[in-house]
Structure 1
Amino acid sequence: MKNVASLLVCLLPLCACDKKEEAAPQATPEFATPADARAYFDDLDAQQMRAMVSRDSAFFARHYAPSYYNCTPYGELNNKAAEIQTLLHGPWVTVEHIAPQFDIFAYSGNMASLTGTKRIKIRTPAGESFIYVRRLAVFQKIDGQWQAISGQGTLVQTRFVGQ
């Protein structure tokens, strides 16, 4: 009982304080709903696919952070400059998003990631063919702008794996 009385004596000054401090203002969320966030990053992904085909270096320079790194489907590690060169000089004819049912999207505060599958038509010495790539992009809001900070592409088989 003596311990309880001692605890109350210690806590009493805290309860007697009339001054109430306001909580720090909370930042306004970037997106109204998770669906809005998903739509924004899906659109950014679509812009990147168009930029690959049109060889739009300005898009990549603007949307890739200075510290950007990408692991290519062939196991190479590219920094921002090397990745832009790869994307500008690739044999891309078309790039399309497929199998959205297998996409993975995550968003929290100033970070987001998007994983999806791409079907890429390429020109080769033997003619045109397709490659399929499972693509991960990680984004961070830097100085008020969403930028890709890393990526990874993995070649996938062309066989169907499930519903």
Structure 2
Amino acid sequence: MPLVAAALLISSCDTGKEAADGTSPEVAASADPAAEEAAIRVKIAQWLDLIKAKDAAAIAQMYAEDGAFMPPNAPIGKGRAAIEQNWAAMMGAPGFDLTFAPEQIIVASSGDMALDRGTYRLVVAPEGTEQIDTGKYVVVWRKVDGDWKAAADIINSDLPAGGG
């Protein structure tokens, strides 16, 4: 009987398998959360630069292929094409300016997922009158082929319903 138990234990510890992103479980288990958080912060800085450039196509590439963008007062964008359309529409508003900053980034011990929670400030000027919205956001990051991609991105305004 001990031989059967040993065989079951060995077969349940198959270390030859690779994770979905191509890393072995040993690599994922030894992830450096501080280094992964720093890598996500670099992605956030790139994202902010793309917003300033109003490059919706490049912003869409920041998302996983099956990612989702959930902006306020608009339909969910599922997949990069829809995400690009949502960002283009939002950035096309007159006077558009958006900044955001993470308040907390938590990297999973596996090193393949992370939670980014922060705040944003959005300015638009329809009809020449500046309107300012502030709020909070959550981005769930997923490591895809060694690169951090936004899997889910949701924005929530601090303004009362009706915008005022």
Question: TM-score per shorter chain, which class?
Answer: 0.5 to 0.7
2:73, 2:158 → 1: CA distance? 12
| Structure number with bigger Rg | 1
Note closer, same or farther for the CA distance 1:31–1:131 as it changes in structure 2 (3 Å cut): farther
Q: C-alpha displacement at 1:156, in angstroms?
A: 1.2
Note closer, same or farther for the CA distance 1:32–1:77 as it changes in structure 2 (3 Å cut): closer
* Of 84, 98, 121, the match for 1:119: 121
Percent identity, please: 20
Which residue matches 2:81? 81
Note closer, same or farther for the CA distance 1:111–1:128 as it changes in structure 2 (3 Å cut): same
Q: C-alpha displacement at 1:104, in angstroms?
A: 2.9
Paired residue secondary structure (2:134): strand
Contact 1:52 1:88 in 2 (8 A): no
Contact 2:69 2:77 in 1 (8 A): yes
Contact 1:70 1:152 in 2 (8 A): yes
Which residue matches 2:155? 153
1:28-75 residue CA offsets vs partner (Å, 9 max, x unmatched): 359864332222212212221221231223422422122111221125
Please, which runs of 5 or more residues in structure 2 have no aligned partner? 5-9, 17-24
2:51, 2:60 → 1: CA distance? 12
Letter in 1 for 2:144: I
Q: How does 1:1-163 map to 2 (within 5 A)?
A: 10-11=1-2, 24=15, 26-29=25-28, 33-74=32-73, 76-79=75-78, 80-89=80-89, 90=91, 91=93, 93-97=96-100, 103-108=103-108, 109=110, 110-157=112-159
Q: TM-score, normalised by structure 1?
A: 0.68
Contact 1:69 1:151 in 2 (8 A): yes
Pairs aligned (count):
143
Please, which runs of 5 or more residues in structure 1 have no aligned partner? 1-9, 15-19, 159-163
Letter in 1 for 2:68: Y
Relative contact order (C-alpha < 8 Å, sep 6+): which is higher?
A: 2
Note closer, same or farther for the CA distance 1:58–1:71 as it changes in structure 2 (3 Å cut): closer
Letter in 2 for 1:131: D
Q: TM-score, normalised by structure 2?
A: 0.68
Letter in 1 for 2:151: I
Contact 1:115 1:134 in 2 (8 A): yes
Q: C-alpha displacement at 1:114, in angstroms?
A: 0.5
1:54, 1:30 → 2: CA distance? 37
Q: Which runs of 4+ in 1 moved over 3 A?
A: 22-26, 29-33
